Amino acid sequence: MGFRGPFTRWLIGSANFLVVMNTAVQGDVIAIASDHAGFSLKVILREDIERKGFRALDLGTDSLDPADYPKIAESLALTVASGKARFGVVLCGTGIGVSIAANRHLGIRAALCHNVETVRLGRRHNDANVLALGARVIDEVTARACLQEFLVTEFEKAERHSRRVAMLDKAVNGTLL
């Protein structure tokens, strides 16, 4: 289906499953979430988000107590996909688990990044809307630089990049054809 008011509707496969995604994105809101392993770094990055003039929407966890990363990533993914936040930042020990979990949601393009170059390319070429970081595998300085790059880099709207990004949502029903 096409654009209808503030919502975009997607018909997935032949299962008559309708997903409604809000396209009226909150441009100044950045969602951030972590499991216990990413908690300390999340606090630092949340402060950076706010210092840069954005509103940080902290989706947890709120302590070093064990937390299940799939639930944390799902909460963030649904928030970004619904348009309640422009971007998301999600953390766990390696970033692998949260990136896998977030990418299971339609409209989410989570990029697991370890340096500024991977962030830059993830935004420019893949229109990444979620930055996944591993708190146990990158240091604070690198994580902060990655966040900065994520927030300032725009998607290159070249036809080849737009075409490939569109293919990602088509893959939800199992085929790119």
What is the set of active-site residues?
A: 125
Q: Say if CB 38 and CB 88 are below 8 A apart.
A: no
Dihedral sign, Cα of residue 129, residue 99, residue 105, residue 14: positive
- φ, ψ of residue 31 to 5 degrees: the values are -80, 145
Rounded to whole angstroms, how far apart are CA atoms 73 and 35?
A: 9
Rounded to whole angstroms, how far apart are CA atoms 157 and 125?
A: 8
**Which amino acid, residue 53?**
G
Eight-state DSSP code of residue 67: -
Residue 48 CA, chain-centre distance (Å), reads 17
Q: Checking phi first, is residue 83 left (phi over 0); if not, alpha (psi -120 to 50) or beta?
A: left
CA atoms within 13 A on the CB side of 128: 27
